[in-house]
């Protein structure tokens, strides 16, 4: 369940705005500028996993053939786990030679000892209950490298609106408090500007060239992410 928090930045009462000083012909206009913050904390509801099969062989065709069979099995296991084709994308395909220094020829360039083919898939997992079993399944089926796991909040842009509303309410509340303490009243709003919004950054877990497999699901913890927004509102002050 999402939890809503209100926070605030300590912002002093602003000096008269130069642009408004003579606007009405009555001299400087007294204003107050307040920055409010809103935060929304929630648990991530999806994960993005990139996993690869890295296959060495004596020749490039041999490495490609073995790799193609292995990555096909990995993709089949991912689909068997209930992941739709639209959430599976090929990524990181490469073929490159492997070099080694030959004994007795230390003064010469390393010679090609074989080739290595790497091919992978990036998978969007929209049900986090499937994450552990899928990680285990891809390793069991031949994947030997996981480049990263990122936990994300789906539809973060839409959910940011709640944080923005909270930031406005926070600014209004603080402005009223300052005005009451100063013995003045808030007038009309002169300007509203968004000071910035912060959406959760992907949290990456990394494990390279895994040489293990387990019959049980790999335990994972998604934790929480926080959406935050800030807004600065300038009011005219009335006696």
- DSSP assignment string, 10-72: --PPPPPPGGGTTTTSSSPPPEEEEEEEEEEEE---EEEEEEEEEEEESSHHHHHHHHHHHHH
At 200 the pLDDT is 52
At 223 the pLDDT is 74
Q: How many CB atoms lie within 10 A of CB 53?
A: 25
Q: Which stretches of the chain drop beneath a pLDDT of 70?
A: 1-27, 104-105, 196-219
Pick the CATH number of 3-43+157-200+228-238 from 3.40.50.1100, 3.30.110.170, 3.30.300.130, 3.40.640.10: 3.30.110.170
CA dihedral 150, 147, 124, 227 (to 10 degrees): 10
Spatial distance between the Cα atoms of 231 and 34, rounded to a whole number of angstroms: 8
User: Would you kindly state where each structural domain of the chain is located, as residue ranges?
Assistant: 3-43+157-200+228-238, 46-152
Q: Hunting for tokens 């009555």 — which residue is that?
A: 26
pLDDT tens digits, one per residue of 92-129: 899 999 988 777 667 778 888 999 999 999 999 999 88
At 198 the pLDDT is 66
Q: What CATH number does the domain located at 46-152 have?
A: 3.30.70.2970
At 218 the pLDDT is 67
At 208 the pLDDT is 42
Spatial distance between the Cα atoms of 53 and 145, rounded to a whole number of angstroms: 6
| 230 close to 194: Cβ distance less than 8 angstroms | yes
With 0.75 as the threshold, say if the pTM is over it: no
Strands (E), the chain: 3-8, 31-42, 46-57, 88-100, 111-125, 145-152, 185-198, 203-207, 225-238
Q: What is the largest CA-CA distance in the chain?
A: 93
| 121 close to 75: Cβ distance less than 8 angstroms | yes
pLDDT tens digits, one per residue of 11-25: 444 433 333 434 455
């Amino acid at each position: 369940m999402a939890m809503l928090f209100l926070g605030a930045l300590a912002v002093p009462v602003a000096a008269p705005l130069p642009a408004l000083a003579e606007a009405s012909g009555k001299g400087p206009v007294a204003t107050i500028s307040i920055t409010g913050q809103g935060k929304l904390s929630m648990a991530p509801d999806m994960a993005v996993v990139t996993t690869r099969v890295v296959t060495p062989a004596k020749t490039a065709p041999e490495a490609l053939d073995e790799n193609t069979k292995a990555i096909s099995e990995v993709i089949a296991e991912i689909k068997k786990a209930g992941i739709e084709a639209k959430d599976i994308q090929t990524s990181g395909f490469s073929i490159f030679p492997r070099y080694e220094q030959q004994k007795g020829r230390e003064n010469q360039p390393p010679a090609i000892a074989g080739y290595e083919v790497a091919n992978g898939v990036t998978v969007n997992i929209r049900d986090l209950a499937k994450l552990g079993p899928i990680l285990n399944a891809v390793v069991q089926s031949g994947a030997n490298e996981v480049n990263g796991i990122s936990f994300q909040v789906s539809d973060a842009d839409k959910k940011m609106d709640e944080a923005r509303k909270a930031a406005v309410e926070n600014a209004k509340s603080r402005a009223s408090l300052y005005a009451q303490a100063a013995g003045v009243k808030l007038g009309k709003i002169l300007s509203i500007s968004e000071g910035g919004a912060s959406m959760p950054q992907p949290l990456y877990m990394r494990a390279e060239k895994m040489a293990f497999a387990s019959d049980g699901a790999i335990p994972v913890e998604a934790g929480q992410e926080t959406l935050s927004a800030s807004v600065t509102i300038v009011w005219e002050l009335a006696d």
